[in-house]
Amino acid sequence: MNLALIGYGNVGCAFARLLERKRASFPFRICGIHTARHGTAIDRKGLRGDPRFGPAAASIEEFLDAARAEVAIEVTPLNPSTGEPAISHIRAAFARGMHVITANKGPIAHAYHALEEAARAAGVSFRFESTVMDGAPVYSLVRNSLPGCEILGFTGVLNSTTKVVVEALREGLSMEDGIRVAQRLGIAEADASYDIDGWDSAAKACALANVLMDARVTPQMVEPRGIGRLTPERVQALAAQGKTVRVVSRARRTRAGVRLRVRAEVLPFTDLLSSLAGTSNLLLIHTDLMGTVGTVSINPGVEQTAYGLFSDLVDIART
């Protein structure tokens, strides 16, 4: 299958490396890459190694027409306010009969139902496993392993950058130092304030609620509260009491609809939600038939995000 990548940053490059590694068994071919500042690369025979970029295509439509791929991989930065321009990128791909896979939670948080409908009308697949918890099964877990279950809610620690930053504060470093550590790992959002202020967690919570609970929520409706005001002194004082801080995303179904809450919470070290070290994430899904089941990802990095894209791709190729 031929692929067109929209975005070639941390995730796009990790995905290209993964494809190279699995090339013998999975002969997918990247035939176009489009970026904001680095330009556009097109080669129908396949782009490998260090692709040579020419001037940027004038528009996403021009790029997709030139790439003539079967699958578009959308990996541009999160925009928690509108989900754009990724939503338009995805629509342009559907309009050309392309399947779409994205790691960008903005479109799922802002336009999931409309995009799902557009994919159906175009007769193509729309997948987004790595939007939440990187490559760990979340949507596919519910889709494939929880038939007939109603999702009553969920509880998750879904943002790795804030965990890295809290750990840095505990060591006496500044918030900026902590953000730099997360940036070096390639896990921070292009605008790291979206991590710190809870917008990444809010977008993930909305994506989960829209997909798994048939909600119609957007990040602005969540009013997240992140860790922006935390200081090393506060984190160290909490640690002395056996406590720490996690940005926790909670959802529950009520008679009035799906309620979401995204807050930095003080938790004892012994709490399941705070017990995982490093970049590790955790999601507990509360159901009517299966009680609470969860998925855990231990120290995920950008390679696991790339794996989420890859797993979606293999699934589309098979079906």
Contact status, residue 79 vs residue 220, Cβ threshold 8 Å:
no
* Residue 17 binds ligand NAP (CB under 6 A): no
* Residue 235 binds ligand NAP (CB under 6 A): no
Neighbours of 24 (CB within 10 A): 6
For 6, phi and psi rounded to 5 degrees? -105, 100
Count of residues near ligand NAP by CB under 6 A? 28
For the bound state, the minimum distance from the C-beta of residue 56 to ligand NAP, rounded and expressed in Å, comes to: 8
DSSP string of 104-142, one letter each residue: -HHHHHHHHHHHHHHHHHHT--EE-GGGTTTTS-SHHHH
Residue choice 69, 83, 115, 189 for contact with ligand NAP (CB under 6 A): 189
* Residue 305 binds ligand NAP (CB under 6 A): yes
Contact status, residue 152 vs residue 269, Cβ threshold 8 Å:
no
For the bound state, the minimum distance from the C-beta of residue 240 to ligand NAP, rounded and expressed in Å, comes to: 32
Instruction: Give the footprint of ligand NAP on residues 105-144 (CB under 6 A).
Output: 105, 130, 134
Contact status, residue 162 vs residue 273, Cβ threshold 8 Å:
no
How far is Cα 28 from Cα 16, in angstroms, rounded to an integer?
10
Residue choice 245, 302, 313, 316 for contact with ligand NAP (CB under 6 A): 302
Residue choice 70, 72, 76, 118 for contact with ligand NAP (CB under 6 A): 76
For the bound state, the minimum distance from the C-beta of residue 76 to ligand NAP, rounded and expressed in Å, comes to: 4
* Residue 19 binds ligand NAP (CB under 6 A): no
* Residue 6 binds ligand NAP (CB under 6 A): yes
The encoded tokens of residue 24 equal 């013998």
Residue choice 37, 52, 255, 318 for contact with ligand NAP (CB under 6 A): 37
Q: Is 46 left (phi over 0), alpha (psi -120 to 50) or beta?
A: left
* Residue 92 binds ligand NAP (CB under 6 A): no
Window contacting ligand NAP (CB under 6 A); options: 73-81, 120-128, 176-184, 284-292:
73-81
How far is Cα 4 from Cα 72, in angstroms, rounded to an integer?
5
User: Parallel, antiparallel, or unpaired for β 2-6 and 257-268?
Assistant: unpaired
Residues of this chain that bind ligand NAP (CB under 6 A) = 6-12, 34-38, 75-78, 85, 103-105, 130, 134, 186-187, 189-190, 302, 305
